[in-house]
Structure 1
């Protein structure tokens, strides 16, 4: 039986913004804030568009609520991303090497700081630090595989 094969690739346009703030730490942190913050805004916009389609209409109040949610999500996730990248870069500079341990420590510190800022429970802070370190380490190992 004849067999056909399709080969090709799909690429998206690459948009890159570079701000030179005169310091690599600041450059990486702000870049991460902007990139992940933009993704979070897009996610919130898609969710709000779904809710508008489901309701069938949008009011002025709902529109303002949607914009506030988009800004809040973008600022929150952008801040977390900027904090993580800053922590990882800081660990790289302190330790003098670039490896998965920087991601683990940076993720743990980020998890602890974000948790401490939003919660007062010591156990919750420790659990979030463990989760942050685990997720960052797993992402680093997956990145090595690809």
Structure 2
């Protein structure tokens, strides 16, 4: 019965993995399968992550920018309160569109308002 083993090394940017099944043909087959599978899996993960983030970020950013502009026009001022109000309204709107739980909508509105206000304060510091 052939002995199986696993050995690997990591070198930038190449990863070598050696699996010894005792049969040279089977070794090459498994090696090729692992390399092709790893490349395919990385490609799918990268593309799906990009698409998901791209869609979500674009929607959230668009809603927030529209809210900031509207609040600034209504208030007639450009200050940190616009970010707080716009963040809260955007968070509530996006949360309300994605789920129907009232307590979750309120939490998302408070969180988005706090994050938007913090970003506005950080922008003022730099």
Superposition TM-score, scaled by structure 1 size: 0.56
Where 2:52 maps in the other structure, the secondary structure is: helix
Structure 2 equivalent of residue 86 of structure 1:
66
Write out per-residue CA displacement over residues 28-52 of structure 1, whole angstroms, 9 at most, x where no aligned residue: xxxxxxxxxxxxxxxxxxxxxxxxx
Q: Please give the root-mean-square deviation of Cα atoms over the aligned residues, in Å.
A: 2.0
Aligned partner of 1:58 among 18, 36, 39: 39
Structure 2 equivalent of residue 113 of structure 1:
93
Greater Rg over alpha carbons, structure: 2
Where 2:39 maps in the other structure, the secondary structure is: coil
- Runs of 4 or more, structure 1, over 3 Å off, are 61-66
**How many equivalent residue pairs?**
92
The structure whose RCO (Cα within 8 Å, separation 6+) is larger is 1
Runs of 5+ in structure 1 lacking a partner? 1-52
Superposition TM-score, scaled by structure 2 size: 0.65
Aligned partner of 2:110 among 130, 135, 139: 130
For 1:110 and 1:89, locate their aligned partners in 2 and report how far apart those are by CA, in whole Å.
12
The reply to whether residue 98 of structure 1 matches residue 78 of structure 2 is yes
The reply to whether residue 142 of structure 1 matches residue 125 of structure 2 is no
Judging by fraction of residues, say which structure has more strand. 2
